[in-house]
Amino acid sequence: MKFASSVYQLLALCHIALASPCKPSSSTAISSVPASTTEASETESSTAFIHETTATTEFETLSGSSAMTTSFATSSAEVEPTTTTTAASGPTNLINNPGFEDSTVVPWTVYNNIGTLSIDSDSGIPPSTQAGQFSASGQNLVSMGIRQDIDSSLIVVDQEYRFSIYTKVTASNFCISQTIACGAGTGFVNSANWGAVQANGWILTTVTCSWNQARLDAGPSVQVTGVCNGLSFLADDASLVASDASD
């Protein structure tokens, strides 16, 4: 009977061993990969995070003579929103139709209602082919030329501005002065001489000026004039911008 009892105990131990659970093991790996790109006129940035998890489970038999291994991997990616920055634009030109590229000369007009203003389609500063053409004759030392009224709501009181324009005199008759100016009503704020007939063609003239409240109330404008008996000239690429924006 003692022998039978020992056999029963041995069989019970084997049964318990066969019913023992599997032995799991696992491992986890996390990686982070940043990435960024940069350009001259704009900036783009992004960051990507990649998470990878690998789990391994091993099953061993009672004898340990063989093993079965299974594994799986999962991954996910998270990308932050991309940010783009664009460079600011250049200064605002307050003059309309500055290069006479429209089909009419509007809003340019003749000064003092003397002479004519038209579009010359063959004489503009390259690459443009158009320019404004002013012509007057038969006068007796009067102011003549072109002008454009400026919207006073666009002007900042006491802010300094630069008015510049290309001119090319084609004919003149007894001129005692030729100026470009920032105007206020029937007068002007400041002026600069732009010369007589230029041997080398086009010339660029610039004048700085500002308007106080009284001058703005009178009506701001820009002018290209001469005190002459007769005067003909071309005008192109006019500009009126705030001085701090054009530096």
What does the pLDDT average to over 128-135?
95
Residue 242 φ/ψ, nearest 5 degrees: -65, 135
What does the pLDDT average to over 212-233?
97
CA dihedral of 237, 241, 244, 247, whole degrees rounded to 10: 0
What does the pLDDT average to over 139-168?
97
Residue position matching structure tokens 């920055």: 85
Q: Quick one: which H or E segment has residue 2?
A: helix 2-18
Sign of CA dihedral 100, 101, 106, 107: negative
Q: Reply yes or no on whether the pLDDT at 92 is more than 90.
A: yes
pLDDT band at residue 34, thresholds of 50, 70 and 90?
very low
Instruction: Say if domain 109-246 classifies as CATH 2.60.120.260.
Output: yes
The one-letter amino acid at 151: D
Domain locations along the chain: 22-86, 109-246
What does the pLDDT average to over 82-109?
84
Tell me how crowded residue 131 is: count the other CB atoms within 10 A of its CB: 24
pLDDT band at residue 90, thresholds of 50, 70 and 90?
confident
pLDDT band at residue 8, thresholds of 50, 70 and 90?
low
- Is residue 222 within 8 A of residue 181, CB to CB? The reply is yes
Of the chain, the percentage scoring pLDDT greater than 70 comes to 61
**Predicted local confidence at residue 44, as pLDDT:** 43
pLDDT band at residue 32, thresholds of 50, 70 and 90?
very low
pLDDT band at residue 200, thresholds of 50, 70 and 90?
low
pTM over the 0.85 mark = no
